[in-house]
Every structure is written in structure tokens, then in C-alpha cells.
Amino acid sequence: MATQTAFRLQYHALTGAVRRWEARRRMALFLRWLPRLLAAGLAVGAGAGLLARLTPLLLPAEIAALTVIAVLIALIAGAVGVWQTGRGGAVVHARRFDVLFGLDERLSTALELIEGRIRSIDELTGRQIDDAASVLSQVNARSRLPLTADRRDWLIALLLALAAALLIFLPNPQADAVVRDGAARDALEDAAETLRDLTQQIAVDPLLSDEDRRKLLQALQAAVSTLDRANISPEEAFAALSSAENALRERADAQTRSAQTQQQALASAAAALRQTMDGMDGMGQSGASMSASELMAQMAQQMANMTPEQMAQAANALQQGAQALQSIDPAAAQAMQQAAQVMQQQPGQQMDQAAQAMQQAQSALQNAQQQTQRAENAAQQAQNAAQQAQSQAQRAQQAADQVGGQSNNQQPSGQQQSGQQSQNGQNSPAESGSQSGAQSQAGQQSQQSQSGQPGAQGQTGQMGEQADSSQPAAGMQGQSGVEDDLRSGLGSAGSGAGDQPGSAGADTAMQQSPMDGGQLQASNNPDGQGQSDFEQVYAPRRIGGEPGDTTIELESSPDGLPVTEGEFASNPAGQSLVPYADVFGDYRGAANRALDSGYVPLGLRDVVREYFTSLEPRGRGE
Amino acid sequence: MSNTPIEAVSLEQFSALAQAIEREVKRVMVGQDEAVRSVLICILAGRHALLEGVPGLGKTMLIKTMADALDLKFARIQFTPDLMPSDIVGTDILEEQEDGRRAFRFQAGPVFANLILADEINRATPKTQSALLEAMQEKTVTVANRSYKLEPPFFVLATQNPLEMEGTYPLPEAQLDRFMFKVNVSFPALDDLIGILDRTTGAAEPRASKVADGAQVIGMGKLALNAPVASHVTEYVARLVLATHPDNQSAPRMVREYVRYGASPRGAQSIIMGAKIHALLEGRYNVAFEDVHAVAPAALRHRLLLNFEGLAEAVRPDAIIAEVIKTLPRTTYNG
């Protein structure tokens, strides 16, 4: 019993020592890993900062937050890991310290003996436990488990912290692109939400036929599903929204036309009645703003005072009104026709029947007016929906422009021109490749600035503005930012309007035509419904010359103005052989068809219209 | 046969006796400390040892010296191809008594001793070998349907020549397994060789004094086998033995490539018993990993059966055991 008590006391002493050592071991382990954990978190931050400088990924504040989170996660993971290594009871810890301190399993054996896990004779047990206690008393845990960390680890952590700070807080040229990407994402989300709302509205719209509702819902749902795709590009979003807008716009236009037709019919009927009323003596003057039903009511009230001639006139007016309403409301037309017949067959007699017929006609007219009002409301709603879709499409377009502009900024100067073309017109590669680089650049320059500053490029309308001084100022021709869009409708005809004298009307494609060996067809015929066969020419080729890249450099005159190169003897003035006023209508018509066909983005249609308005010939001389 | 009384030995006595035995043996044997320690461990554990080494390294001398240091009955059996089992265990001989009648009387063989030196055991035929091996395992001898118990302590210290020679009969694995240790007697180093020359070429031949008797040896063994072994050390030994099996997951590459069969449970028993005695001989009261590592090669090297590749490439079992010890984690810290 005394032996057991002594063993128990020694057990507490041994386990107490083990607990103290274990706490110190964990602390030492954590301190040893602390700089490494910090380095791991800071490496994440530095990596993110570096990545954010290579690609538009995160804002500086986000990278800083990410760094802090990474450091915290690393510290927590390290603490958990250290804590995990300390799991187990005193015997488990004792085994570890037997190894760490070179105790030759004295400690763990003693604890197991006391705990009864293993057995031996008393003499050996006592000697072993005494031996373990004796050895433990000689262990210097502070020297064996120093609370220090490697200086190299701290140095690495310090360097990583410095690198992360520099990468995070130095100005990042990609940050603007990140902001733009975020705006684009928000725009797409808003657009999708708007389309969902419109889908819900259309699903319960009582004014829509089932067929119209089905078509609209189909178009909207297709657009929504496109917008909901994870990696949708702004261009795709714009196309989807344009498609939805087209569907809504068609519906709105149809409803507007229907409402206008009904309104015109009612107005015609009202005009006929008003004319009759105004022509009758003693009938008083009808208000100019009175509706057909009100005029009918007034006519019914005064019917008793009508002379037979006036009755005949009224019946005639009713017949005219019936004819006007026949196309939009056969029921109202029939009621008015019946009233007219009653008044014609029995003038002055059976006034009750006539009044009843008039009343029926008035009621039918009121219904027709209400229907017209509803149609107008429906048309207005449809217009609003289309407007919303258009607005969202414009936002998506802006987002696409911003993203495209950002990507253009990243391109080398030699690739700037193709990027601009694609950005401006949402063109296919074939379309964007149909122009020479110098011409496109020149067009953008002239549009960007009336002052014609060399080397400056710009965009108008939805394009936003950007400048790239790396682009050389080449050429003097102007070109609209929507020219590429027009090309889709005009074929390769194109139309250029430069700010510089002598360049108006010079078409870039037309200029290419002679270099292209005459393969450019219908270059002056914009009636090709936007379809034109032509060979894409990327490199200028001289007539009769060998194919291949040729650099054409215009010499400068002594006064600094560029001079043209070539033989212009037959046309020394450089004027178009076809009068401008003769061909302008063709171009404008082709542009209008392109606008109606939906090839031109909604947001750019006004630009196109304004463009052609500005190009309208002012006199015969043009 | 009378039973040798067991003398209780204290830890202090154990230490003193062990040191005395080693000291006496080392007075004669030079440069074979490890072999001396291994043989002593086997004797204290009451098990048998197989000594292997080229001729002339002192295997026989070691065992004879050990017998000199211990006050035990010693017998030497030189194994030859024509050695018969009866030459080992004894035989019934026809003897004429005083009254003229004749009767069979059992003539005990040399196996009836405490310490047997089975010299060049692999030169005898398997039949003769098995006669000794039965006595080693059962510690009894059966002649003419009569069993005779061998007097404890009973140790067989056998030697065998590693070289392939005409007329040798290698011990089967099952019989090798009965030896606790296989002790390699290596060639002495330069200093040791000089010491051997100094001691053995003079007129006076050194001899070991008797410092312990049989009862003390048994008592020492009983005390040593009570040495505590921590559970994770026991587990380590079990994992160590399992790791010598090529189909075990923890087996290292060498085991998978060169070992056909791994060590038997007797190998683990031998390690634990040897480690306990080794710990006490080192002045410790518990078994440490160091003790396991110290005795593992001797306990396992004759229990590893090499495959064709191992034999063809002359892989040493000691190298495989070292690889196992190197790759096997000491503890899993899992409680």
C-alpha cells in the first residue's frame, strides 16, 4: 500500500513534468513555425499581388484583405496543427519526450508501470520509476526546447512582407480593368434581372395572344439563359439582349401600329359625325375634342329636333363612320350601320327605334374607344419593355466597350487597329479584317478630334474615349466608329466621311478596289442587302505587282502636308466620278435596311442615323 | 537427475555477476566483445546460440572460456559426418552385473551437461543434428522409449563454418529457428589481433576463473526476464518482425526484393528477451529502443530466408535488418 502511494506521488510528479514539457514543446513548435506560417500567408498575398499586376484580377484592397486572411488562415492552421501534435495522454507525451530528450523510454515505461499497463516485479518497478524520476530531474527543458525560431525563416517572412506590401500598394495598372470588369458583371446581372421581370410581366399580360406570349417568352428566356451562363462575354450578353429587345420592339411596334389604326378609324368616324353635326343648322357646334361616342350621344339627343334632311345627313354620317370603323371594330360598324338604316328608312318616324339604334351604336363606339385605349396602353407597355431591354443592352455594350478598351490597352501597338475595329462594330473577324490598318486608324483619329491631332485616337458614342499615343498618325481620311457595323449591311461599299478637306466621300474599300485587281464587286452598289462577295485584302498589292506585303509610304510636301501617290491625270481634282447626291440615297437606304434588319446594335442606331443626317447633301454641288 | 536450485539474485548481484562474467571472459577473449555479450545474453535467457565465423577466430575458445567462467558442466561435441545420434544423447549398453545377470544400462551422452559446445554442427548428418536439436527444444532425451530430463541450465552453443565445404549439411530453417541468436564472430581488428598474439603466444595460457554457478545463472535469467518493456516498445518489436516479411506493407524495399520468408514469432520473442537482458547489462531497468536495435541483428539474421535474387546477389541479412530498423518509425504516438 505504501508502495502504491509512493508510486502515485511519483506519477503526479512525472505527469506534471510531462505536461509542462508538452506546453513548452507546443509553444516552441509554434514559434519555430511562426515565421514560416507568416511567410506562407504573405506568399499568397505577394502571389496574388503579382498575379493582379499581370491580369485584371483583384483590387489592391482585396489583395490586402486576401493577404490578411491568408496569414490568419496560416496561423490558425499552424496552431491547429501544433495542437494536433499534442493530442494524447501523458504516456503518449512521455514517449515523445523519451525520444526528444534521449530518456531511453524510461519515462513512458515508468508511467505505464504506474498506470498498470505493464507489470514487473516490485523491485524492478521501484527501481525503474526511481530511475526515471532521477533522469527527469536532470533534464533541462529550456535548453532542449528553446523558444526561438530560425533567423533565416524570419528573414524570408520579412522579405515576403516587403514584397507583398510593394505589390499591393504600388499603383497597379490593372486595377482600372478590375473595376471595369466588375461594372460589366453588374450590368449583366442587372440585365438578366430586368429580363426576368419582363418575362414575368409578359407571362401574365392579358393583352397578349398565346402565340405572341409564347414567342416573347421564348426570346426572353433564351436571352436570360444566355446571360446566366458563367463565362459569358459582354459581346454575347449584348447580342442576347439585342435579340430580346428586337422581339420586344417588334411586339411594341405591332401594337403601336394597331393602336394607331384604331385611333385613326375612330378619328375618321368622329370627323364624319362632327362634320355632319357642324353642318346642321340649329344643332349647335360640336366640340373639336369630342369623341365619336360623345358625338353620337349629342346626335341622339338632338335627333328629335332633326329635320328629315338632317336625319338623312346624320344617317349618311353614320354610314361613313361605320365604314371607317369596319376594319377595326365590325360590331361598332354594324351598330352604326343599323342606326343609319333606321334613320334612312323611316325618317321622322319611329324615333324610338332610331334612338335605340343610336344608343347601341354609341355603346359600340365606347367599347371601341376603350379597346383603342387598351391597345395604346399595351403598346406603351411594350415600348417601355423594349426600352428597358434597350437600356440594358446599352449597358452591356458599354461594358463590352470598356472591357474591349482595356484589352486594347494591353495590346501591343501593332495590334491596336484590329482591336479597335472589333470593338467598334462587333464585327466578325472577316469584317474587321477588310480594312487596312492605316485607314482605320485614320478614321478614328478624325472622329476623335476635330483638331486632327496626330497620334491621337478616340471613340465616340458608346465607345468611350481612349487615347493611345503609340499609334502613328497616318492618313487623313475620316471614318465613323460605326462604319464596321454599316459594312455588315452595306457589304464592302462603306462610306467614309473625313474631317479633312478632300477626303469626304472617299471610301476606304473603294480605295482598295483598284489595288485588289478588280475582285471587289458591287463596291458602289449598296443595294446588296448587306451581302457582298469580296476578297479580304490585308496587304496592299500593286496592279501587276507580285503579291506580298508592300509598305506604302506617303512623302511629305515641304509644307508638311501629305501628298498622294499615283496617277490622277483623268481626275486631277480628286472628285468622285458619280455625283454625291445621286449615290447618297442608296447608301442611306442600305443603312436604313441594315438598321431595320437588326445588324446594327441598338445603341448605335442613333449614331448611324445622325451620321447619315450629317452627310445629307446640302446642294447640287456635292 | 537432480534439479539445480534457483538462487534469487538481486539487481546489484545481477550487475556484479554479469560484469564479472564478462570481465573473466574478456581476459581470454580479445576483441569479441559483441560476441561475448551476445553469448552471455543467450545463456542468461536460457536459450541457445549459434556462432558463425571462419575457422580460427575463437568460437570454440569463446564457449570454453564462458564455461570456465561459469561453474557449469561443460561438454564438447565435435560434429563429423560419421557422428551418430547415440554419440550425442547416449545409448543403452549391455552390462553384466555382479550376480551374473546382464542388463541394459543407459550410458548418458555428452548432451547431459549444462553447457554444450556443438562444434561445427553443420558437418553432421541431419539425423544426428536432429538428435541434438530435439534436446535443445524439449530439454529431454529419449532413448529406447525412456525419456531423460536434462539438468538445467542447459545451453547449446553451436558453431558452424560459413564456407561451403564438402560434406556439410546446412541446418534447416526450422532448426535454425531454435537458436536464440546467431552470433557472427568477426575477424579481430589490428589492436585486438595484437592483443591475441600477446596473450596466446606466451608460456602462460590465460584461463577464466569461475565467478558464477548454474543457480546464479538461472536466477539472473529469471530476474532479467522481469525487466519491464513499455507497450510501444513491444509494439515496435512486433512491427519490426512483421516488416521482415515481404508481403507486409511496412516492409522496406530490400525486404520486398530479397526476402522470401521473414522472421518467425520466435524472432520477436528472442528480441524481447535479449533486449531485457541487454538493458540490465547496460545498467537500465527498462527496455529501450537501443536494446532492441542491439539484439535485433543477432535475433533475426538466421531467421530471414532469402529468395533467389538475395542469394544470387549475396545480400547480407544484416543489411536487410539494418534497412528495416532504419525505415521503421519508432513510435506512432497513437497511445
Beta strands in B163-228 (DSSP E): 179-184, 212-213
**Cβ of B290 under 8 Å from any chain A Cβ?**
yes
Read off the pLDDT of each residue in A615-619 and give the average, rounded to a whole number: 75
> A320: part of which helix (H) or strand (E)?
helix A308-325
The pLDDT tens digits of the residues spanning B63-101 come to 889 888 998 888 999 988 899 998 999 988 888 888 888
Specify the pLDDT at position A40. 93
Taking the CA of residue A41 and the nearest CA in chain B, the distance in Å comes to: 30
Does A486 score more than 80 pLDDT? no
Using DSSP bridges, classify how beta strands B305-306 and B70-71 pair: parallel, antiparallel or unpaired: unpaired
pLDDT at A550: 53
Using beta carbons and an 8 Å cutoff, which residues of A are at the interface with B?
88-89, 91-92, 95-96, 99, 104-106, 108-110, 112-113, 117-121, 123-125, 127-128, 131-132
Cα–Cα distance, B179 to B52 (Å, whole number) = 12
- CB-based contact A117 B231, cutoff 8 Å: yes
> Which stretch, A377-386, A527-536, A606-615, has highest mean pLDDT?
A606-615
Using a CB-CB distance cutoff of 8 angstroms, which residues of chain B are in contact with residue A128?
228, 285-286
Query: Which residue type, as a one-letter code, is found at position A74?
Result: A
pLDDT for residue A494: 35
Give the pLDDT mean for A513-520: 39
Q: In this structure, what is the dihedral angle of CA atoms A489, A495, A497, A503, given to the nearest 10 degrees?
A: 170
Regarding predicted confidence, which is higher, B168 or A124? Answer: A124
Strands B146-149 and B140-143: antiparallel
- Spatial contact of A269 and A292, defined as CB atoms under 8 Å apart: yes
Please tell me the predicted confidence (pLDDT) of residue A510: 38
pLDDT of A497 reads: 38
**pLDDT for A479:** 39
Give the pLDDT band of residue B102 (cuts 50, 70, 90).
confident
What ipTM was reported for this prediction?
Answer: 0.86
pLDDT of residue B241: 96
B81–A contact, CB cutoff 8 A = no
Instruction: Return d(Cα A48, Cα A68) in angstroms, integer.
Output: 12
Which CATH superfamily groups domain B1-225? P-loop containing nucleotide triphosphate hydrolases (3.40.50.300)
pLDDT-derived band at B247, boundaries 50, 70, 90: very high
CB A108 to CB B232 under 8 A? Answer: yes
A291-307 per-position pLDDT tens digit: 777 777 777 777 777 77
pLDDT over 60 (residue A524) = no
Å between B277 CA and nearest CA of chain A: 13
Grid coordinates representing B329? 518509425
Cross-chain Cβ contact B10/A121 below 8 Å: no
pLDDT at A596: 80
pLDDT for the residue A162: 93
- Where does the pLDDT of residue B240 fall: very low under 50, low under 70, confident under 90, or very high at 90 and above? very high
Residues in chain B with CB shorter than 8 Å from the CB of A121 are 223, 226
> What pLDDT, on the 0 to 100 scale, is given for residue B4?
58
The verdict on a CB contact (< 8 Å) between B285 and A105 is no
Nearest to B48 by CA among B270, B245, B211, B226: B270
pLDDT bin (cut points 50, 70, 90) of residue A362 is confident
**Do the beta carbons of residue A439 and residue A451 sit within 8 Å?**
no
User: What is the band of A496 on the pLDDT scale with cuts at 50, 70, 90?
Assistant: very low
> Residue B33 pLDDT more than 60?
yes
CB pairs under 8 A between A and B: 73
- Distances in whole angstroms, Cα of residue B335 to Cα of each of A12, A81, A352: 19, 18, 113
Span A150-186, pLDDT tens digits: 899 999 999 999 999 998 888 888 778 777 777 777 7
Using omega within 30 degrees of 0 as the cis cutoff, is the peptide bond preceding A572 cis? no
Domains B1-225 and B227-330 belong to one CATH topology = no
Architecture, CATH, for domain A259-379:
Up-down Bundle (1.20)
pLDDT tens figures, A217-235: 888 888 888 877 777 776 7
Between the alpha carbon of residue A69 and those of residues A32, A63, A164, the distances in Å are 21, 10, 13
Q: Report chain A's mean pLDDT, rounded to a whole number.
A: 70
CA distance B281 to chain A (A): 14
pLDDT of residue A381: 77
The pLDDT score that the predictor gives to residue B327 is 92
| pLDDT at residue B12 is higher than 80 | yes
The residue that leads in pLDDT, A3 or B255, is: B255
- Residue B45's pLDDT band, with cuts at 50, 70 and 90, is very high
Q: Which long-range contacts (CB under 8 A, 24 or more apart) does A603-608 make?
A: A603/A390, A603/A393, A603/A394, A603/A397, A603/A398, A603/A461, A603/A462, A604/A397, A604/A461, A604/A462, A604/A482, A604/A485, A607/A460, A607/A461, A607/A462, A607/A480, A607/A481, A607/A482, A608/A482, A608/A485, A608/A486
Chain-chain contact of B333 with A96 (C-beta, under 8 angstroms): yes
Most A CBs within 10 Å, among B14, B285, B291, to test the A interface? B285
The mean pLDDT value for A78-93 works out to 85
CA distance B116 to B109: 11
Model confidence band, residue A137 (pLDDT cutoffs 50, 70, 90):
confident
Q: Domain-by-domain residue ranges, chain B?
A: 1-225, 227-330
B251 near B323, Cβ under 8 Å? Answer: no
Region A586-613: mean pLDDT is: 81
With contact defined as beta carbons under 8 Å apart, do B267 and B173 qualify? no
Superfamily of domain B227-330: Magnesium chelatase subunit I, C-Terminal domain (1.10.8.80)
pLDDT of residue A561: 58
Question: Predicted confidence band at A576 (pLDDT cuts at 50, 70, 90)?
Answer: low
Mean pLDDT lowest among A363-377, A432-446, B37-51: A432-446
Rounded Cα–Cα distance for residues A378 and A342 (Å): 36
Q: Do A598 and A485 meet the contact criterion of CB atoms below 8 Å apart?
A: no
Using alpha carbons, select from B334, B270, B333 the residue that is nearest to residue B301: B270
Domain with CATH 1.20.120 in chain A: 259-379
| Contacts for A229 with CB less than 8 Å, ≥ 6 apart | A236
Residue-wise pLDDT for B200-219, tens only, equals 787 777 788 889 988 899 99
* Alpha-carbon distance values, B308 to A493, A515, B244, B263, B316 (Å): 87, 84, 16, 17, 13
Cα–Cα distance between A242 and A235 in angstroms, integer? 10
- The predicted model gives A240-249 an average pLDDT of 79
Segment among A106-120, A572-586, B163-177, B292-306 with least mean pLDDT:
A572-586
A contacts of B283 (beta carbons < 8 Å):
none
Least confident segment among A34-43, A158-167, A238-247, A406-415:
A406-415
A567 has pLDDT over 80: no
Residue B272 contacts residue B237 (beta carbons within 8 Å): yes
Residue B239 in this model has a pLDDT that exceeds 90: yes
Interface contact B285-A128, CB threshold 8 A: yes
Q: Smallest CA–CA separation between B132 and chain A, in Å?
A: 34
Q: With contact defined as beta carbons under 8 Å apart, do A461 and A604 qualify?
A: yes
Q: Is the pLDDT of residue B305 over 50?
A: yes
Q: How far lies A289's CA from each of A19, A271, A275, A286, A295, in Å?
A: 101, 10, 13, 8, 10
Residue that the C-alpha cell 590465460 belongs to = B206
B56 vs chain A: nearest CA distance in angstroms? 38
Q: Is the pLDDT of residue A406 over 70?
A: no
**B81/B71 Cα distance (integer angstroms):** 31
CA distance B117 to B79: 10
Residue B167's pLDDT band, with cuts at 50, 70 and 90, is low
Task: Return all residues near A445 (Cβ < 8 A) that are at least 6 apart.
Answer: A452, A453, A454, A455, A456, A457, A458, A473, A475
B334 pLDDT higher than 80: no
Of A105, A117, A123, the CB nearest to B286: A105
Compute φ and ψ for B268, nearest 5 degrees.
-65, -40
d(CA A147, nearest CA chain B) in Å? 23
More confident residue, B130 or A160: A160
Residue A573 has pLDDT above 80, yes or no: no
Arithmetic mean of pLDDT, A391-407: 63
Cell numbers 449598296 correspond to what residue?
A526
Percent of chain A with pLDDT over 70: 66
* Among A103-107, A315-319, A578-582, the range of highest mean pLDDT: A103-107
Q: What is the spatial distance between Cα B139 and Cα A590, in angstroms, rounded to a whole number?
A: 118
What SS3 string covers B35-71?
HHHHHHHHHHHCCEEEEECCCCCCHHHHHHHHHHHEE
* Backbone angles phi and psi of B120, in degrees to 5: 50, 60
